[in-house]
Amino acid sequence: MRISILGCGHVGLVTGVCFADRGHKVYCIDIDPKKIEMINRGKPPIFEPGLDELLEKNVKSGNLTGFLSKDFYSRRIPTDISFICVPTPSNKDGSTNLKFIKVVSKDLGVYIKSLKEHHVVAVKSTVAPGTVAGVVLPILEKYSGKKAGKDFGLCMNPEFLREGSAIEDFINTDKIVIGSIDERSGDLLEKLYESWKKDIPRIRTDLRTAEMIKYAQNAFLATKISFINEIANICHRCSIDAKNVAHAIGLDPRIGSKFLNFGVGYGGSCFPKDVKALISTSKKHGYNPVLLKSVEKINQKQALEILKMAGDVEGKTVSILGLAFKPDTDDIREAPSIKLINELKKHNVVIKTFDPKATENMKKLFPDIIYTDSPLECLKNSDICFVMTEWKEIRELKPKDFLSSMNTPVIIDGRRVYDPEEMRKYVVYKGIGYGLT
Ligand SMILES: NC(=O)c1ccc[n+]([C@@H]2O[C@H](COP(=O)([O-])OP(=O)(O)OC[C@H]3O[C@@H](n4cnc5c(N)ncnc54)[C@H](O)[C@@H]3O)[C@@H](O)[C@H]2O)c1
């Protein structure tokens, strides 16, 4: 099939590359000329394990080509399916900002007008229930002059990939959710996933249900994280090691061990904004989502739990190991490290940082702090070390590395990276959920 991908960020580029690798003809379209230039050189503009080889291979074979939006539309290249993969950030009140969705829907409406053949628009961006039918559809109809469900198809195909394992998640997903306004467009989308494993459930729904599935899933995962963080905070104050508690309860198959890692809270481009958007959607429909509000509140203050443990930081040199919101990504959106840096900057503190991939992104936000190329250089001459992301090179540090580099090492581990018993033989070691002693 011929596929156009609108928006070549984490979701769009991975979607494009994976379909191209299955033999489809993919056009990756973006408004950012730098991204398109890199894509056409076979170089991914984002870091994602395995993406570089797959992109290079499919650009070379001619299965994937990057286009600036205006160039793609002016050439009137016909395709069978368009995927909307543009950002859906939060407004100040937590509702979803639909400005990117609206622009791309208008572009697509004009594009569909010029097409002779039937075309399907599939939304992969995460949007609140009712958005595809209530916002995307009327814009497409207005600018195409055609009728949805008759002249063109419309689907909601939410994406469940995780940054850091995006390609694996896309190919070996646990489900493929296809919400559609009509059978025909849903069938076409299902056909596109034909080469995916047969035992992956294909879930066919209406548009609204497909939109809700994505929100409900992210809200549940965020709830699990805030729950274990709350338990860890209580354990900490009761001098109980939360690690043992999390391990034991995770053995119950009704609970499961995944997403029971307590720490500095969730970040990234999805959980924070999606929980806020579901809260906003609930309110719009007259429901007070007490649980989701608490999930968000716990997460807001979780990153600062570790700052409390540091005591007086005034005038000290602080090292921060890890900036990305999780390992194996360069994404810093809503990263807990940002909250920590903002708080530290209120004090007279020298901030040194290390992250294997996220430094360039963080420099745009905080040009005035120190960025180093190795964990040891970061630790050098610092008084307090905060561990914020569990990268491999950070996990591999030994007590001697802290002892030989820091002044009098105080380590505050926000990710339970090290063994507290071992560390406490050599250094002052604190962290969420270890007990106050
Ligand atoms: N990142 C994830 O892990 C993830 C997972 C599942 C779902 N999602 C959802 O997918 C959507 C995209 O997320 P992302 O992380 O890939 O975003 P991103 O910010 O990484 O990328 C979005 C891209 O869209 C481009 N863009 C903006 N307006 C455009 C336009 N008019 N035409 C063409 N391109 C345009 C931007 O330049 C950017 O390259 C969001 O709704 C997000 O919630 C993200």
Same domain, 273 and 127: no
Q: What is the 166 CA–ligand 1 centroid distance (Å)?
A: 14
Distances in Å between the Cα of 248 and the Cα atoms of 27, 127, 251, 377 are: 48, 36, 5, 38
Question: Among 391, 223, 386, 353, which Cα is nearest to 298's?
Answer: 223
From the CB of 88, is ligand 1 less than 6 Å away? yes
Domain-embedded: residue 256: yes
Domain-embedded: residue 213: no
pLDDT of residue 437 exceeding 60, the answer is no
33: number of Cβ within 10 Å: 12
The Cα–Cα gap between 246 and 154 comes to 43
> Which pLDDT does position 434 carry in this prediction?
81
Domain-embedded: residue 296: yes
Q: What is the 320 CA–ligand 1 centroid distance (Å)?
A: 28
Q: What is the 13 CA–ligand 1 centroid distance (Å)?
A: 9
Average of per-residue pLDDT values in the chain? 96
10 Å CB burial of residue 255 (0-12, 13-18, 19+) is: middle
DSSP letters, 412-436, are: EESS--S-HHHHHTTSEEEETTS--
DSSP letters, 14-76, are: HHHHHHHHTT-EEEEEES-HHHHHHHHTT--SS--TTHHHHHHHHHHTTSEEEEEHHHHHHHT
- Tell which atom from ligand 1 comes closest to the C-alpha of 162: 3
Same domain, 39 and 160: yes
DSSP H or E segment with residue 173:
none
Same domain, 244 and 362: yes
DSSP H or E segment with residue 197:
none
* Reported confidence tier of residue 433, pLDDT bands at 50, 70, 90: confident
- Per-residue pLDDT tens for 325-371? 999 999 999 999 999 999 999 999 999 999 999 999 999 999 999 99
Total number of domains in the chain? 2
Same domain, 335 and 359: yes
- Per-residue pLDDT tens for 274-333? 999 999 999 999 999 999 999 999 999 999 899 999 999 999 999 999 999 999 999 999
Same domain, 234 and 382: yes
What region does 312 belong to: left with phi over 0, alpha with psi -120 to 50, or beta? beta
pLDDT of residue 226 exceeding 70, the answer is yes
Residue nearest to atom 11 of ligand 1 (CA): 125
- Per-residue pLDDT tens for 71-103? 999 998 999 999 999 999 999 999 999 999 999
The Cα–Cα gap between 161 and 391 comes to 20
Domain-embedded: residue 80: yes
- Tell which atom from ligand 1 comes closest to the C-alpha of 10: 16
- Per-residue pLDDT tens for 382-409? 999 999 999 999 999 999 999 999 999 9
CATH number at residue 253: 3.40.50.720
Question: Among 231, 236, 233, 272, which Cα is nearest to 250's?
Answer: 231
Same domain, 242 and 201: no
Same domain, 179 and 94: yes
Domain-embedded: residue 210: no
Domain limit, last residue, from 154, 170, 205: 205
Distances in Å between the Cα of 211 and the Cα atoms of 138, 222, 324, 433 are: 17, 17, 28, 36
DSSP H or E segment with residue 356:
none
Domain-embedded: residue 211: no
> Which pLDDT does position 436 carry in this prediction?
59
> Which pLDDT does position 435 carry in this prediction?
67
Selecting among 8, 28, 270, 378, the annotated active-site residue is 270
Respond yes or no: is residue 385 known to be catalytic: no
Tokens 């002044």 correspond to what residue?
407
- Tell which atom from ligand 1 comes closest to the C-alpha of 163: 3
366 three-state secondary structure = coil
From the CB of 8, is ligand 1 less than 6 Å away? yes
- Per-residue pLDDT tens for 22-43? 999 999 999 999 999 999 999 9
- Per-residue pLDDT tens for 179-225? 999 999 999 999 999 999 999 999 999 999 999 999 999 999 999 99
Question: Among 219, 263, 47, which Cα is nearest to 126's?
Answer: 219
Same domain, 142 and 54: yes
Percent of the chain with pLDDT over 70: 99
Domain-embedded: residue 246: yes
Question: Among 82, 87, 174, 181, which Cα is nearest to 125's?
Answer: 87
Percent of the chain with pLDDT over 90: 96
Tokens 């990710």 correspond to what residue?
415
Domain-embedded: residue 214: no
Same domain, 143 and 185: yes
DSSP letters, 211-271, are: HHHHHHHHHHHHHHHHHHHHHHHHHHHTT--HHHHHHHHHTSTTT-STT---SS---SSSH
Q: What is the 89 CA–ligand 1 centroid distance (Å)?
A: 9
User: Is there a contact between 322 and 288 (Cβ–Cβ < 8 Å)?
Assistant: no
Same domain, 398 and 332: yes
Domain limit, last residue, from 205, 231, 249: 205
403 three-state secondary structure = helix
> Which pLDDT does position 32 carry in this prediction?
98
Which range marks the domain in which residue 378 is found?
219-431
Same domain, 186 and 84: yes
Burial 106-144 (b: 16+ CB within 10 A, else e): ebbbebbeebeeebbbbbbbbbbbebbbebbbebbbebb
Domain limit, last residue, from 145, 170, 205: 205
The Cα–Cα gap between 94 and 190 comes to 33
DSSP letters, 93-142, are: TSSBP-HHHHHHHHHHHHHHHH-SS-EEEEE-S---TTHIIIIIHHHHHH
pLDDT of residue 150 exceeding 80, the answer is yes
Same domain, 193 and 330: no
